[in-house]
Amino acid sequence: MGLTGADIERIVREARLKARRGKRAMRYEDIEDGIRGHRPPVPHNLRWRYAFHEAGHAVVHHALDLGPVRGLNIDTGEGGYNLVGFHVWATDTLGWYENMLTMLMAGRAAEQLVLKRVSSGSGGTDDSDLARATRLAFDMERTLGFGTEHPLLYRPHRDPGAVLDRDTELAARVHARLEAALDRAAAILRRRRPTFHALAKALFEAQAMDEEAVLQILTDGDLMC
């Protein structure tokens, strides 16, 4: 967020004061308003990219019935993020893992579909979309029993990147899974384009959306599918 400890303390004090003046309990929105007021605005072109990226994740997560979308936020100054949940009854089948890969690749698919070019926002860090998707596809090939070659072998490794650098055939199989997930995510977004664009527009304008606001748009879209 780019805020110091003193900034955060001041934001909380101001939020409490605002709540007292309104004779009510302090709400999350009070904190969010304070944080937003202490940050420089995100440029419009980046806001649109973040909005499409996070809306893509949300639409695909919902379409594949992975669980609830708890909230979306693009007002961080360092990219957006999504808060998603997963159904407790989900089974660890091949289909479930393929759905997870599709959801992880959906942000990149969204950028590619609408903006015609992707940013580095999907990668760059160990907790990025591409990093998580690569680890998952690697595990599908090596440890989860879904490998296209020798699926019964359990071959864990602490550094998948090192293995992929050495084993070009394995790297090709992992990459093929990622490409398939990317294509599938793009197909879902094309089928649900009105919902996808409506959610991105709402997120661009609000910058932060809670579960209820997101679900309203997603469920309205279900009626049109």
CA distance 33 to 7: 13
Which of the 8 DSSP states describes residue 156? -
User: By C-alpha distance, which of 72, 127, 74, 65 is closest to 102?
Assistant: 65
The catalytic residue among 14, 29, 32, 54 is: 54
User: By C-alpha distance, which of 96, 109, 106 is closest to 139?
Assistant: 96
CA distance 174 to 178: 7
Look at the block and give the residue holding tokens 């961080």.
76
User: Catalytic site residue 29?
Assistant: no
User: By C-alpha distance, which of 105, 128, 123, 118 is closest to 188?
Assistant: 105
Q: What is the DSSP string of 115-130?
A: HSS--GGGSSSTTSHH
Q: At what angle do helices 44-63 and 94-115 cross, to 10 degrees?
A: 150
Residue pair 164/174 in contact (Cβ under 8 Å)? The answer is yes
Catalytic machinery residues: 54
